[in-house]
Amino acid sequence: MPALLPADGRLLVVGAGLAALRLCQEVRRLGFVGEVVVLGREPHRPYDRPPLSKHVLLPGPGDAPGPSPAGSVSDLAADGTGLDDLGVDVRTGTRALALDPLARRVTTTTGTTGTTGTTGTGTTGEERYDALVVASGAEPVLLRGDGPQHAVRTWEDAVALRARLVPGARVVVVGAGWIGAEVATAALAHGADVTCLEAGPAPAWAAVGEAVARRVLTPLWRDVRLRTGTRVDRVVDEGVLLADGALVPADVVVVGVGVRPTVGWLRGSGVPLGAGVLVDEHLRSGADGVLAVGDAAERWSPRWRRRLRAEHWEEASTGPAVAARVLLDGPEGTPAHDPVPYVWSDQHGARVQLVGLPADDAGVVWREHVDGSPTATWLSRDGRLLAVLTVDRPREAAQARRAVGRAPDRATLADPATPLHRA
Ligand code: FAD
């Protein structure tokens, strides 16, 4: 199959986050000299989101927030090649409204949008393309109710929340996943009184299963009033109303119950949508000339024989290299994008790293380290290593990246003295 994008063609990228930045870097690296237009609904050029919860929220030097991402592409995003250097036309404050894939046209409006709404009046326009890459990311799921709630997805979100994290503030975090843990960590560092309401039995249980979450993650939450098995009904002015009718009073409510891909603008376009844009292992959607990368994509994984929505930094960072090659060289000869999923989280003074995709608790093999937290590993029924969860063991996490997919000896795997990739 030939290239999807002619050498003098027009590439349109919707979304101006990490995945968009990487895509632009890659097409230029591969020698594409045609026009590249990036539409971003935030008022900023691409910036990195992990520092929002890991740095911006924390008390810092002079107690001031970190550097503004406004106007900076490369400062926060990796290897220093900014979009200006790449000759990319970045239209911040411009939102894609709808797609007509037959006419290869995207309708747009100006006026910036963040997690908390749209500002500015819109002027509508149209952008034509030869190839379109959907990089519109994801946005936080919010709770019902009229009371004020914070989420952390954008720079503005983080700055607004940080201003509310003051000593003694009653901060209620809803959701004990990766983001909830980092928000709770930051709130504690400001001297706030932190409660976390979690519907499941343990922190991040949906990602790692109940048994591992209880053993590895729950102990990290010792400084937080962690209320598991607690269902939230809605946010009210006084705090959070639970499903059983009880009120949990709060000065600040932060929601961390997950994200959903920002693909509403594609509804009705005919582009196949599942939880995100449905794409194959080359990140192609069913629509001609339309690819999707990063948090917006739900991709087919030959390795795991299922669809995946990774929602992680590394996914958004690495998928665009494959998309760029597919655009410029075609899929034949381009390796599939099918990495082992990886996520890290800095929480409660520890670095948690999850490599791979955990299965059910039955396949868990523990590595009992004498100094500190045990490492959990998961084996499939046919003995392949599926995933590894470590706490403060970066070397073991690096080994895990080489080991996932192999069939280790079970007894050796359980021996913490043996490197994971040698088990
Ligand atoms: P985004 O970063 O969401 O970028 C998409 C952009 O598109 C946004 O600017 C959005 O406003 C814009 N957009 C949306 N719709 C439109 C439209 N219709 N028109 C124009 N523009 C549009 N991952 C990890 O692996 N480890 C971590 O420790 C970690 N920490 C995180 C901490 C925080 C606070 C957050 C929010 C995320 C964290 N992540 C982490 C996840 C990681 O940041 C994301 O996976 C990554 O940002 C995804 O990049 P993306 O470019 O696909 O999407």
Predicted confidence (pLDDT) per residue in 179-205, tens digit: 999 999 999 999 999 999 999 999 999
- Residue range 260-294, pLDDT digits in tens: 999 999 999 999 999 999 999 999 999 999 999 99
Ligand 1 midpoint to CA 357 (Å): 21
Pocket probe for ligand 1: among 22, 45, 49, the residue whose CB has the most ligand atoms within 8 Å is 49
Is a pLDDT exceeding 90 seen at residue 112? Answer: no
Ligand 1 midpoint to CA 215 (Å): 30
Does ligand 1 come within 6 angstroms of the Cβ of 285?
A: no
- Nearest ligand 1 atom, CA 138: 3
Q: What per-residue confidence (pLDDT) applies to 75?
A: 41
- Helix 313-329 × helix 18-29 angle, to 10°: 40
**Residue with CA closest to ligand 1 atom 43:** 49
Does ligand 1 come within 6 angstroms of the Cβ of 135?
A: yes
User: What is the model's pTM?
Assistant: 0.94
> pLDDT category, 1, cuts 50, 70, 90?
low
Q: What per-residue confidence (pLDDT) applies to 62?
A: 47
- Residue range 230-248, pLDDT digits in tens: 999 999 999 999 999 999 9
What is the sign of the dihedral through the CA atoms of 172, 174, 180 and 183? negative
The 364-367 sheet, strands edge to edge: 342-347, 350-356, 385-391, 375-379, 364-367
Q: What are phi and psi of 110, to 5 degrees?
A: -95, 170
Does ligand 1 come within 6 angstroms of the Cβ of 177?
A: no
- What is the radius of gyration, based on Cα positions, of the chain? 22
Q: Which residue has the tokens 């599942």?
A: 274
- Residue range 399-418, pLDDT digits in tens: 999 999 999 999 999 999 99
**Residue with CA closest to ligand 1 atom 38:** 50
Is a pLDDT exceeding 50 seen at residue 79? Answer: no
